[in-house]
Structure 1
């Protein structure tokens, strides 16, 4: 379901580790109001729920009856809970997101993972009702979403689509944020690329942007670190494409925008993995830009369970 089919204004929220974006989305998909505020990630889950309610109130009008939340972490939309999360938001794992926000706002709440919500806008743009999609978001971490037969896959406890935790030969022995080793995120996310460059050169770890600048100046170690991460993503996505047969593969996130060096290495590795029936398939950039998560969040209210407010109910 696309945001343009929403019958009345809906509040869409995008919760990230550093910022909360809120939008009032009209019946025609137009964003009628916006508001942003910092995520109080270090203050714990209750403070984050309070901030989400504050952001929703800033864009709310009398016609809005529902909120859709695109949130960081592994989200189970059926129970409305955060089933797993990194420590980016303190104490976020286990939070009753939908119930907590519904109690604070008096509105019914639908929720899902932020990457999956953004991917929903891409799924809606495919021709026909039965499209299949692989969506990867490569930034501070590596997230993802998978859709088949026109439906976004959630899997047990909302875990489906977490592509960053696929095993990756390029990441062998490297620690992952989930506590395991050898996962794609450890070598392909922005911090993973920067850490690899620092390890090879014996320098202090810095931001990915610095490594990208060195690569543009011809630093061979920077070039190698970036292309290694890109190839790891390309190989993983190519293998998934063989398994799922998608109509489209989307690569989003800040790392994917650092330049042709990254994009070319990813595309070449992806193509090398494909079976011949998929030879024409190529990774592409998202069709929807910065507003994908808030628009996707708003659309969740039509595709996922709504959790109504209760007169008595804990927020955890």
Structure 2
């Protein structure tokens, strides 16, 4: 079912163990999270991205059941790709990374499958919310970039998440990027950051440089770089520099207190972080660039590490509306 349909009933969350789901274009990660934020169990499975919304929703429901493993959760929080409306629980728009995902009644249909109330929001916004909360009284303003199968982002201004018109705020992967000039983006346009900085974008660049087809997985490119393959090293550095350059320009515009970069691509290590930070610093204006002041900005990984996306998803159950399960016709 692609149409938005009526919004499901909205209820409010409470202090109980919840399941956090991070839905990416490649993988679904699930965690059972205690009220204090402790991860009690983890589960992951591939995302059936090309098989349509029903297959994705079935995989999400399977992950909810698997991660509980006899425990009882009180709610589910889903951090999902696309422009997600937390109030209605509907995916308003999405790129081609998840086939047919735009228009999916995510909250209502997953609640029907699991029998649990469901909260949802954009995946990177959820992770950024958890990152901002972890800063406590010092949360301030945050610019958050996530680089994986796609490129997403979020902006927190003075402790408040910026959602923007139609919930579009934070889609940093669709900024114009000189490094991506002419390259097709998953949104249908050309020349966007995601086309060169995402995992598939870096892998595609390696394939063009090395003259191979089809492009390998990013993990294979990273291994080749470690083995001394200059094309692989160049592809990773080029994608990282494109991301750093875009972030530096945004930092000049927004003046954030912190800049955080997460996502699977950052696991390539210093080969990624060094060119990203260099390109970021080269774009900054004073006083943001001065290493002699407390205002100097340096992109850093999330404080919550690999659990940031699922913890952010779990936190949605207490920060945005929960949509109660209904019977009949929700599949």
Cα distance change of structure 1 residues 197 and 17 upon mapping to structure 2, 3 Å threshold: closer
**Paired residues, number:** 311
Does residue 1:287 correspond to 2:313, yes or no?
A: no
SS of the residue 1:137 aligns to = strand
User: 1:1-316 to 2 correspondence within 5 Å?
Assistant: 7-58=15-66, 59=68, 64-128=73-137, 131-204=140-213, 205-279=215-289, 280-311=296-327, 314-315=330-331
Q: Write the distance in 1 (CA, Å) between the matches of 2:220 and 2:28.
A: 26
Distance verdict in 2 for CA 1:56–1:254, change over 3 Å: closer
- Structure 2 residue runs of 5 or longer lacking an equivalent are 1-12, 290-295
- The alpha-carbon deviation at position 313 of structure 1 amounts to 5.3
Structure 1 contact 69–112 (Cα < 8 Å) conserved: yes
How high is the TM-score relative to the length of structure 2?
A: 0.85
Conserved in 2, the CA contact under 8 Å of 1:73 and 1:113?
A: yes
How much has 1:218 moved relative to structure 2?
4.8
Separation in structure 2 between the aligned mates of residue 157 and residue 13 of structure 1, nearest angstrom = 23
Shift of the alpha carbon at 1:96?
0.2
Alignment RMSD (CA, Å):
2.4
Q: Distance in 2 between matches of 1:32 and 1:221?
A: 41
Is the deviation greater in 218-227 or in 242-251? Answer: 218-227
SS at structure 2 position matched to 1:290: helix
Contact 1:6/1:28 (CA < 8 Å) preserved in 2?
no
User: Separation in 1 of the partners of 2:26 and 2:179?
Assistant: 29
Instruction: Name the SS for the 1:95 alignment partner.
Output: coil
| Worse-superposed segment, 52-61 or 26-35 | 52-61
Distance 1:278 1:104, change over 3 A: same
Q: How far did 1:234 drift?
A: 0.9
> 1:51: Cα distance to partner?
2.9
CA contact under 8 A between 2:197 and 2:239: conserved in structure 1?
yes
In structure 1, runs of 5+ residues without a counterpart are: none
